[in-house]
A and B are shown apart, each in its own frame.
Chain A
Amino acid sequence: MTTSIAVERSIEQFRDRFLRITQEVGRRIVGHEEVVNLTVTSLLAGGHVLLEGIPGVGKTSLVHTLADVLHLTFSRIQFTPDLMPADIVGTNIIQEHSHGGTFFEFQPGPIFANVVLADEINRATPKTQSALLEAMQDVSVSVGKTTYRLEQPFLVLATQNPLEMEGTYPLPEAQLDRFFFKLKVQYPTEAAMHDIIDRTTRDAGPAVTRVVDGAEILEMRHVGRAVPIARPVQAYAIRLALGSHPASPYATPLVKRYVRYGASPRSAQAIVLAAKIQALNRGQAFVAIDDVRAVALPALRHRILLNFEGEADEVNTDAIVAELIAGVATE
């Protein structure tokens, strides 16, 4: 009974914090409730987010606000073609001793923060983009012969513009796969536009308070991973990932026709982890099929590689994932 009460309290605490984070972000970010929800989900699951949207829809503001609310260190990297890896991870610089002589001292780059905004990540060269790989996967960076651990929680929020593709370097599949979610920031509605203008054209913008700190986020991550998931529900998540492969027996017609490579096992991990966070956010101690469905699209859409026919027909991977969700049996 005691453990049950403790679990119940954990769930309530998790739910309360989650709600406070989203509400606080929502004071500044208008009309992107789902994006905010999934971004926080990714943060609590320990994943990174790729935000895609046209300029001016609030991607950077969202990341700024999130960092403010979470009481975490924040850094911003504006990716340009001449950006170098050392500009991200840092470099060794020569320092002079007070008693004479010189030595190399590591100067940390902007990657050493809890929340890193990689703005317009596709404008940097692949070499620079790959500088993020180790940080995103292992939460560490290696400079020379030394590996430096990054402070947890560590969250990379990258943005990219889907329209201006000239002079950009599309992210390689290996790097795309390391993003927990790919979220599309849509153009706000007319009502949301009113709110945005009302809030941003005054002398003082809406202030946000820090509601959660890093330790609490780490605790929430721990709680999220403790949620049990029944094997049939987990099997459904696996079938979704497997079904994105054209040779899979669960593949849908769109997959068979337009997909060259499907989602990696990381996608199933992402789906299950995110589904657990969603279940806690509902106040439940179990993962349901609907939780899996709710997070399947952002977890799978960037992990599906189209074939030539799919590229030629400008097929949207969202449609493929939607067909998967509708077509893969839940039993």
Chain B
Amino acid sequence: MLQNRDVVGYRKYGVSSQQLPNGSSADRVRRELAAADRQRRAGAADLVLWRAAPLAAVLCIAVAAAGRWRGWSAGWALALLSLAAAGLTTRWLLSRRARTLSDAVAAGIDETAGLGGELRSASWFASADTAGPWTDHHLARAATRLAASDWTRLFPVAPAWRAKTVTAILVVCTLGLALVLPRHHPLLTSEVGRLHAATGSLPSASAADALLPELQKQLEALLAAAERTGGPPSGTPATADDIRRLIAALGTLRDAGKLQDLARAMSERPVPRPEDAPKAMQALADRAQKAAQKPGVAADVRDALEQVSDEMADAAKAADPSRGPASDAGPATAAKSDSKAASPAESVDEASIEAVSEADSGGGAGIVMMGDQDAAAGKGSPGLGLGGGSDTSTSGGQMAALEAALRRETVEASADDAGANVQTEARRKTEQGRAGVTYAGTAAATFDRGRTAPPPPVPEGRRAAVQSYFIRKQ
């Protein structure tokens, strides 16, 4: 329509109420038109503003939450909040400024106000160099009629109380999330510490101190739950996320060197001397290991407890320089060795499994017949060694745990689809196999350690992240 306006030679005019002198009907018409246009745009601008403001506030609070979660600086959320406020304010101000009033603007206001075309016609004559009794009369009547118009009623500014309230709440939440929450929420802080650990920087000691009581409480609850084997009571971590956060918090404490404090705090007996801290840590590691081996413990809880045990054992080892090379295998291995010594049957089981593994690596299927030295005497009950064997003690708790583990593995294995010809393949291998029935005295396959390389050690900074990665998700 611009070209139409050019065709008819319509002249635009830019006026504001400040520029207009009091006087002729044309001036009054222009002033009223400018006022009406300003009022109309104010209403429209407010409408847009209070529609956009809650959305901008939602965006800000989302960025603030993500920033707290990801460890960004609070400045990002505040900067975005400021930017959004500045943008909306600028747009609001721009929409209210004086502008060129065209015929389209006059027509729109005329139609909305129901003036029957009088404003549109008068606005054109007010800007044109036409004079005459009829034009003057037209302008005078239009000016009088426009002056009687209540533009605030015709173009009301929406109060938008709901939008304003929502925006205010969201802004306050954004500020709180960005500025207040990190100093008071230990779990979120532990996430920050975890991420700091992942990026190689150590968390602050104050954050670790703040984390310690909450972690102690949660760990006590987890241990108690596992030792009771009745599932997690209320208040303990129950979801994978909770456990992951707990492990991450543990990593934060470890990185901050506060595991000793945790062990001392959780020790049943007071540990006044710092040199006794490794013992307390080892005791906590053992407690966690035993709790993890309790039957009926959920898999993720067991994994978490084993990880707690590993962390504590490692920390105890690192803190106790008096420990010899025998303990290099770690507390878990030490515990395993201890249990081997205490239970010959378990040792036999381990040997049996190791023998089978070595026989497999030799290329043939082998069955190892192993037995307890007391089996010939007919003492003891049958054990779990492949090919037979016996055990002097049933170790009911461990057996139940092993049974549960095997059942779970069986269930999981049954879900795997090995393919239609798996039996054929198995039969073919059996028919072609040349392995002997027994070769208890077989030697392990030669293993050239010189050609092997140990797995790369996990950097301390990545340790917590790797641990949390391998936690089974529910």
A235-269 vs B, CB cutoff 8 Å, 1 = contact: the mask equals 10011000000000000000000000000000000
> Residue A329 at the B interface, CB < 8 A?
yes
Contact of B133 among A3, A288, A289 (CB under 8 A): A3
Q: In the docked arrangement, what's the CA distance between A288 and B120, Å?
A: 8
Contact of B117 among A226, A239, A289, A331 (CB under 8 A): A289
Chain A residues, Cβ within 8 Å of B229: none
Contact of B118 among A4, A239, A288, A331 (CB under 8 A): A288
Is B137 a contact of A7 with CB atoms below 8 Å?
yes
Q: How many A-B residue pairs have CB under 8 A?
A: 83
A302-331 vs B, CB cutoff 8 Å, 1 = contact: the mask equals 000000000000000000000000000111
Which residues of A, 196-229, contact B by the 8 Å Cβ criterion?
226-229
How near does chain A come to B137, taking the closest CB pair, in angstroms? 4
Q: What DSSP secondary structure best describes chain A's contact surface?
A: helix
Chain B residues, Cβ within 8 Å of A238: 8
Given A7-B133, A286-B118, A329-B1: A232 touches B103 (CB 8 Å cut-off): yes
Chain B residues, Cβ within 8 Å of A287: 117, 121
Q: Which residue of B lies closest to A1 (CB)?
A: B140
Q: In the docked arrangement, what's the CA distance between A239 and B5, Å?
A: 11
Is B135 a contact of A228 with CB atoms below 8 Å?
yes
B151-189 vs A, CB cutoff 8 Å, 1 = contact: the mask equals 000000000000000000000000000000000000000
Is B9 a contact of A231 with CB atoms below 8 Å?
yes
Given A232-B10, A331-B1: A4 touches B135 (CB 8 Å cut-off): no
Binds A, one of B123-131, B254-262, B264-272, B295-303: B123-131
Chain B residues, Cβ within 8 Å of A331: 1, 4-5, 103-104, 107
How near does chain B come to A331, taking the closest CB pair, in angstroms? 5
Q: In the docked arrangement, what's the CA distance between A234 and B125, Å?
A: 13
Is B137 a contact of A8 with CB atoms below 8 Å?
yes
Is B4 a contact of A235 with CB atoms below 8 Å?
yes
A259-290 vs B, CB cutoff 8 Å, 1 = contact: the mask equals 00000000000000000000000001111111
Is A4 a contact of B8 with CB atoms below 8 Å?
no
Given A290-B116, A331-B1, A331-B103: A227 touches B121 (CB 8 Å cut-off): no
Chain A residues, Cβ within 8 Å of B5: 232, 235, 331
Is B117 a contact of A288 with CB atoms below 8 Å?
yes
Q: Which residue of B lies closest to A226 (CB)?
A: B134
Q: Which residue of A lies closest to B117 (CB)?
A: A288
Contact of A234 among B1, B8, B133, B137 (CB under 8 A): B8
Q: In the docked arrangement, what's the CA distance between A214 and B70, Å?
A: 92
Chain A residues, Cβ within 8 Å of B294: none
Chain B residues, Cβ within 8 Å of A329: 1, 4
Which residues of B, 80-105, contact A by the 8 Å Cβ criterion?
103-104
Q: What DSSP secondary structure best describes chain B's contact surface?
A: helix
Is A288 a contact of B104 with CB atoms below 8 Å?
no
Interface size on B, residues (CB 8 A): 30
A287-307 vs B, CB cutoff 8 Å, 1 = contact: the mask equals 111110000000000000000
Is A231 a contact of B133 with CB atoms below 8 Å?
no
Chain B residues, Cβ within 8 Å of A163: none
Q: Which residue of B lies closest to A2 (CB)?
A: B133
Interface size on A, residues (CB 8 A): 28
How near does chain A come to B145, taking the closest CB pair, in angstroms? 11
Q: In the docked arrangement, what's the CA distance between A226 and B134, Å?
A: 7
Contact of A330 among B107, B122, B137, B141 (CB under 8 A): B107
Q: Which residue of B lies closest to A231 (CB)?
A: B8
Chain A residues, Cβ within 8 Å of B122: 286
How near does chain A come to B110, taking the closest CB pair, in angstroms? 9
Given A232-B103, A238-B8: A286 touches B121 (CB 8 Å cut-off): yes
Chain A residues, Cβ within 8 Å of B137: 3-4, 7-8, 285
How near does chain A come to B8, taking the closest CB pair, in angstroms? 4
Is A235 a contact of B116 with CB atoms below 8 Å?
no
How near does chain B come to A9, taking the closest CB pair, in angstroms? 11
Is B136 a contact of A3 with CB atoms below 8 Å?
yes
Q: In the docked arrangement, what's the CA distance between A227 and B9, Å?
A: 20
How near does chain A come to B103, taking the closest CB pair, in angstroms? 5
Is B10 a contact of A4 with CB atoms below 8 Å?
no
Is B141 a contact of A285 with CB atoms below 8 Å?
yes
Is A290 a contact of B130 with CB atoms below 8 Å?
no
Of the candidates A6, A233, A286, the one having the most CB atoms from chain B within 10 angstroms of its own CB is A286
> Residue A165 at the B interface, CB < 8 A?
no
> Residue A143 at the B interface, CB < 8 A?
no
Is A4 a contact of B107 with CB atoms below 8 Å?
no
Q: In the docked arrangement, what's the CA distance between A233 and B119, Å?
A: 12
> Residue B23 at the A interface, CB < 8 A?
no
Is B138 a contact of A285 with CB atoms below 8 Å?
yes
- Please list the residues of chain B having a beta carbon within 8 angstroms of any beta carbon in chain A: 1, 4-5, 7-10, 103-104, 107, 116-118, 120-122, 124-125, 128, 130, 132-138, 140-142
10 A–B contacts from the bound complex (CB under 8 Å):
A4-B133, A230-B125, A232-B103, A233-B117, A233-B120, A234-B8, A284-B116, A288-B117, A290-B117, A331-B104
